[in-house]
Amino acid sequence: MNSTKFRKQLVSFLVITLASGIYALGFVWCYEPNDIAFGGITGVAQIINHFIPVAPVGVTVIILNIPLFLLGWKLLGGKMLLGSLYAMFISSIFIDILTPLWDWTPMNPMLACIFGGLTMGLSLGLIFQQGSTTGGTDLAARLLKLKLSWLPMGKLLMAVDLVVIVLVALAFQALDTMLYGLVALYISSIAMDGVLYGLDNAKVAYIISDHNQEISRAIVQDLDRGVTILHGQGAYTGADKQVLMCAFKQREIASIKNLVKEIDPVAFLIVCPAHEVLGEGFRDYKKDDL
């Protein structure tokens, strides 16, 4: 293994370690003391233990994770399996370390939902970025992503955990626990998608003007953004039109609008959100990208 690859893997495991610490903090600080439904494989294990008391929660979690990890190893590869095993192990260690360090007393339930959801979403997003999971429903969502590649990871995980949280509420007849869990789960999914996709937030502008050459030249020279010329036709007049298409970062939206309107105050400008932009000046494509 060359030094560059070793450093890359070392950084990846350091990020997973940090994210696992954040994950554990969210659990012991927000979820556990406030009885917020957590979902996941742990929730499934709690349900099984409720109906079959001789099945310990910890052992059940391990047994339920075995087929998921075997499937993950087959479909996602050994690197993902190793990283996921490490994340599951180190997050459990952090939970055991943090629990006795402080008196984690209950707080306002809504605050617990907000900050618990944010910490969980942030930590899981960082772990997913490294090609790993914490096992359980995280791994199940990652496997579903192979078939449902068009869905964001946060929404996939929310769908899987939603089923578990509802089942936990039905098993234990705890409506408040479920409702708070749903709020935290929604916030977590938004935070996770923000980590995975938010930094790549981009916009696409479509510009129709009689000063297309000046506008495209200014965008290329002043903003260092590429412009594509599309050919269109006005439906009412039948006149041929050129449409300028330009992808740019969220922070550049004001500069684009000002530049266009300075050159042509009556230009027709449409700005649309772009979920992902891959290519020069934006994010590179990676195989098995989330």
* pLDDT tens readout for residues 247-265: 888 778 888 899 999 999 9
Decide if pLDDT at 115 tops 60: yes
The count of structural domains within the chain is: 2
pLDDT above 80 (res 94)? yes
Residue with tokens 């190793």: 82
One domain, residues 191 and 75: yes
Q: Is the confidence at residue 186, as pLDDT, over 70?
A: yes
Per-residue tokens: 162: 């939603």
What's the pLDDT tens digit per position in 11-69?
A: 888 999 999 899 889 988 998 888 787 777 777 877 787 788 887 765 777 788 788 77
Same domain, 155 and 239: no
Are residue 236 and residue 141 in the same domain, yes or no?
no
Spell out a b/e string for 189-227, using b for 16 or more CB atoms within 10 Å of the CB, else e. bbbbbbbbbeeeebbebebbbeebeebbebbeeebebeb
**Same domain? 72 vs 131:** yes
Instruction: Report if residue 98 sits inside a domain.
Output: yes
Q: Specify whether 46 is located in the same domain as 170.
A: yes
Please tell me whether residues 120 and 232 are part of one structural domain: no
- 289 within domain boundaries: no
> For the purposes of burial, counting CB atoms within 10 Å of the CB of 179, is it exposed (0-12), middle (13-18) or buried (19 or more)?
middle
At residue 74 the predicted structure's pLDDT band, cuts being 50, 70 and 90, is confident
Could you tell me if residue 190 is inside a domain? yes
56/62 Cα distance (integer angstroms): 10
189 shares its domain with 71: yes
Structural domain harbouring 26: 3-199
Report the pLDDT averaged over residues 110-118: 94
Q: Give a yes or no: residue 283 inside a domain.
A: no
- Is 227 contained in some domain? yes
Q: Which residues contact 238 (CB under 8 A, 6 or more apart)?
A: none
Average pLDDT of every residue of the chain: 82
For residues 9 and 158, give the distance between their C-alpha atoms in angstroms, rounded to a whole number: 29
Q: Any idea what the CATH number is for the domain that residue 240 is in? A: 3.30.70.120
Side chain identity at 185, as an amino acid letter?
L
**Would the pTM of this model clear 0.75, i.e. be above it?**
no
